[in-house]
Structure 1
Amino acid sequence: MPYVILALCAVVCTFFLARLLVAKTCLVEKAIEDTIARKLSAAAPKVELERLREENGVMRNLLIDMVENEGASSSAKSQMSAAESKQAMNARMQRRREIFGEAVYLLRQTEKSRTGVRIAITQPPES
């Protein structure tokens, strides 16, 4: 009988020790994953990717503006008088110039930021 009690105690102790080790392992894995995520969040490629996504969204909005500008003027042409048509054409040309001006400005800003990012990527991080 004492051997059975001793064996049960050994099994129970082994069970709780195994659970403790599993819990510690999970905590260490979580700490490692958090550290990796923190390091990657500040990495240069991720920052570059976020900047490119933002620029992509801005360019997409400019293209949508261009399409809306062209589409709005062409749908109502048949019902306009000559003076209204000329006024609409001038407004459309003015809006087109504004959109192209925004696009040129954005492209210049993009080129400036790209050269800055290239310098930051090629230089080793300071420790």
Structure 2
Amino acid sequence: MTVTKSSIWKAALIAPLGVPLSITFAVAWEALSNFGVYGLRDLPVAMLFVFLFGLPISYGAMLLFGLPYLLWLRSRGWLTWAFVCIGAAVLGSAIWVGYWQLSLRPPSLARTIPVGAMIGLVVGIIFSLTAKLPK
């Protein structure tokens, strides 16, 4: 099965939504774990801010880093789940760490690298599913 240009572009438009969705899910999980259902009362406001700030960063990262990587994979004939997900995890880690290193009190790399890798992996999985990539 060949991957068409339109399926790559469609997947590139949908996949970045995985970043704010996964962050929102993590915030909801933590609030639910720590405070029970009562902890979810502020989730809509938190979700608004996550989407408001996360989507531009997510789409910018896809445009600057993700798409060139994906097009390179396609040119080499390597556009498969494995290569997409590995690259997405690496890029997710680098972007997440880079974003936090710009803050006033950045958390340790041991805390930020795994989170970025998981977020990148979510984006890679969404991309692979949407583009219907071969395994």
Relative to the length of structure 2, the TM-score reads: 0.26
Per the normalisation by structure 1, the TM-score is: 0.27
Larger Rg: 1
Give the structure with the higher percent helix. Answer: 1
| Greater relative contact order structure (CA < 8 Å, 6+ sep) | 2
